[in-house]
Amino acid sequence: MADETTDSKPLSETLPDAPEATPAKQSVHSFKYDILTALGETKKYAKLKMKFTKQELESEALIREELRIEDLSKRIQEQNE
């Protein structure tokens, strides 16, 4: 085999030029995320807030149901007297 190192160019000249600096990727956010961040909320806290609101509505519904049952119970007791 022939000696390739003497016939060839230096290694730095044979390698293709490396890109200067790759531009930073712009992160892609959804429209909803942009709205939430505009309101000062992050996605994590928005999800927690939605979960809390759902639980709060369920709790209020149970309280209303309990009050309705108590009122019904009182009316039945009055009718039986």
In a domain, 69, yes or no: yes
Domain that holds residue 66: 50-81
Mean pLDDT of the residues in the chain: 75
Average pLDDT over residues 49-73: 96
In a domain, 22, yes or no: no
Q: Identify whether the C-beta of residue 46 lies closer than 8 Å to the C-beta of residue 36.
A: yes
What band does 46 get if pLDDT is binned at 50, 70 and 90?
A: confident
Residue tagged 């290694």 (tokens):
11
Q: Identify whether the C-beta of residue 41 lies closer than 8 Å to the C-beta of residue 49.
A: yes
Residue 51 burial (10 A CB sphere; 0-12, 13-18, 19+)? exposed
What band does 39 get if pLDDT is binned at 50, 70 and 90?
A: low
The answer, yes or no, to whether residue 13 has pLDDT greater than 80, is no
In a domain, 10, yes or no: no
In a domain, 2, yes or no: no
Q: Identify whether the C-beta of residue 70 lies closer than 8 Å to the C-beta of residue 77.
A: no
In a domain, 18, yes or no: no
In a domain, 78, yes or no: yes
Could you give the number of structural domains in the chain? 1
> What global pTM score does this model have?
0.45
pLDDT score for 47? 84
